[in-house]
Amino acid sequence: QVQLVESGGGLVQAGDSLRLSCAASGLIFSTYSMGWFRQAPGKEREFVAAIRWSGGITYYAESVKGRFTISRDRTKNSAYLQMNMLKPEDTAVYYCAAAYLSNVGLRSSGSYDYWGQGTQVTVSS
């Protein structure tokens, strides 16, 4: 079956960096656009970043643009989220998601077919 497994979360201080990984199995990775979402306590899940399955075009939430970078490695069936200059407001559970052959609506959680279990990122001030 399809599995998305996130890793790389942790507790860091403001200004630090973290790199989240999402290892995918049970699917043809090259046919899926990949996205990262996050959910803070008491808040709805929100879009963070996405990368198209074809062409590698990327999208970012305004709140992370210039600080976060999404990438993918087809040889490792993995997607990544490099997070720099972290802020306390970045504290959340981060989820990766996969959307089959989709290049539109990648900012919407409803566009994704599969989700990981999430990894906690906590940024202290």
Pair 70, 20: CB distance under 8 Å: no
- Rounded to an integer, the average pLDDT of 103-121 is 96
pLDDT in tens, 39-65: 999 999 999 999 999 888 999 999 999
Q: What is the mean pLDDT of the chain?
A: 97
First to last CA, the chain: 40
Nearest residue to 40 (alpha-carbon basis) of 109, 120, 125? 120
Pair 81, 69: CB distance under 8 Å: yes
How far does CA 99 lie from the centroid of its chain? 12
pLDDT value of residue 20: 98
Q: Tell the burial category of 49 from Cβ atoms under 10 Å away from its Cβ (0-12, 13-18, 19+).
A: buried
